[in-house]
Chains A and B, each alone.
Chain A
Amino acid sequence: MELIDLYAALFLSFFKIGLFGFGGGYAMLPLIQHEVVEQHEWITVADFTDIVAISQTTPGPIAFNSATYIGYSAITEMGYASGYGIIGSAVATLAVSIPSLILMTLVCAFFFRLSNNAWLQASLSVLKPAIIGLIASAALMLMNGNNFTDYKSWIIFGVVLTASVKKVDPILLILLSGMAGLLLYPT
């Protein structure tokens, strides 16, 4: 693919992610995954899971982190030099931010007590439960053979799930499960 087409595709995908990413955070995951793993195949499911892990242990929202990372790797994986990858990174990060910029500017301009608006409340009454379903779909999509290679994966899953429900810090859990990986998978 031509470089300019790749940039355009990155821009379009991440613009869409910014525009339809209601709820922020994990709620944006299925959308990101649909665009970058299933539609464009810029990265694999395992790579995507790694990005979520990196995102959890570094500052900033997950949408920015994946835009920056995928913008770089989609370009360099196609064989372009890393300088072009940095531009891809900037393109994707800007694209994911522009819908918010436009919408929040409108909100500030017509500050029509949006929080009490009947139409907004009506759409949120269905949107909020639907977003819970979207987060669940993100977890379900990641539960495949790439990420769960054997029974040890399920043990790690069970332990982390329980610990996380009990409010153990996610960064600590990621570090510990990385160590568990080293111990459980000797070469």
Chain B
Amino acid sequence: MQRIRKYGELFLVFFRIGAFTFGGGYAMIPLIRNEVVAKKGWLDDNAFMEMLAIAQSVPGPIALNTALFVGNKRLGFRGSLFSAAGIILPSFIVILLIAILFSQFRDNPLVERIFKGIRPAVVALIAAPLLGLGRSAGVNSKNIWIPVVAALTVWLLKVSPVYIVLAAILMGFSHLVYLKKVMKK
């Protein structure tokens, strides 16, 4: 009984986080910290920061990776299933309802006019954080060619971003191998 309550608690905490973070990603981090560190005390601040670094280095949504980590640390693999279900379900329910409703009136002229205004705004919202993100990703005059080449090949040559990711990882590795060789000499 005690165990079931613990799984339920894990599910509920992440359900709440999933239900109240609009926009996802970095917007969720303060909320997760508040629940997991401040309220529940499942992790201390150091462990939380370290977990965040890992959650960002593993592919996939950061919120999901964080939920999986906390769930796993607390109650093992099964715990991570409960925390993942918690973080996924709110958006699943909301978006499914929207998808069902939206398909009914998406050809409505009123809806089309609204979205004609929204579409360029969305592009602006994606472009706006680029400068700030670039700075925190350590983009400088020496490596600015990396984002430029990545953007152009995906945009103009329609290369799958999968290959960009693989190429970037390979380049990072070979640079390290090179550095190690230089160090030996």
Chain A residues in the interface with B (C-beta under 8 A): 16, 18-26, 28-31, 34, 38, 46, 49-50, 52-65, 68-69, 72-73, 76, 82, 85-86, 89-90, 93, 96-97, 99-101, 103-105, 107-108, 114-115, 118-120, 122-143, 146-149, 153-154, 156-158, 160-161, 164-165, 170-171, 173-174, 177-182, 184-185, 187
Contacts and interface: CB of A to CB of B under 8 A. Distances in A.
Per DSSP, are chain A's interface residues mostly helix, strand or loop, or mixed?
Answer: helix
B25 A131 contact: no
A160 B60 contact: no
A53 B23 CA distance: 9
Given A52-B126, A133-B148, A134-B150, A122 B155 contact: no
Interface residues of B, number: 97
Contact of B18 (A60, A93, A97, A123): A60
Given A89-B99, A99-B60, A182 B120 contact: no
B3 interface: no
Given A56-B22, A105-B80, 19 more contacts: A21-B60, A24-B65, A26-B25, A28-B61, A54-B98, A96-B60, A97-B84, A104-B68, A105-B72, A105-B77, A107-B69, A108-B68, A123-B169, A132-B147, A157-B124, A160-B124, A164-B129, A177-B120, A187-B109
A53 B63 CA distance: 19
7 contacts: A20-B59, A20-B165, A52-B122, A60-B94, A96-B60, A123-B172, A132-B133
A16 B143 CA distance: 27
Interface in B109-162: 109-110, 113-131, 133-134, 137-139, 143-144, 146-152, 154-155, 158, 160-162
A59 B53 contact: no
A25 B54 contact: no
Chief secondary structure at chain B's binding surface: helix
Contact of B172 (A26, A122, A178, A179): A122
B151 A157 contact: no
B185 to A, nearest CB: 19
A140 B151 contact: yes
Interface of B: 18-26, 28, 50, 53-65, 68-69, 72-73, 77, 80-81, 84, 87-88, 90-92, 94-96, 98-100, 102-103, 109-110, 113-131, 133-134, 137-139, 143-144, 146-152, 154-155, 158, 160-162, 164-169, 171-173, 175-176
Contact of B154 (A49, A108, A134, A171): A134
Contact of A178 (B58, B118, B129, B146): B118
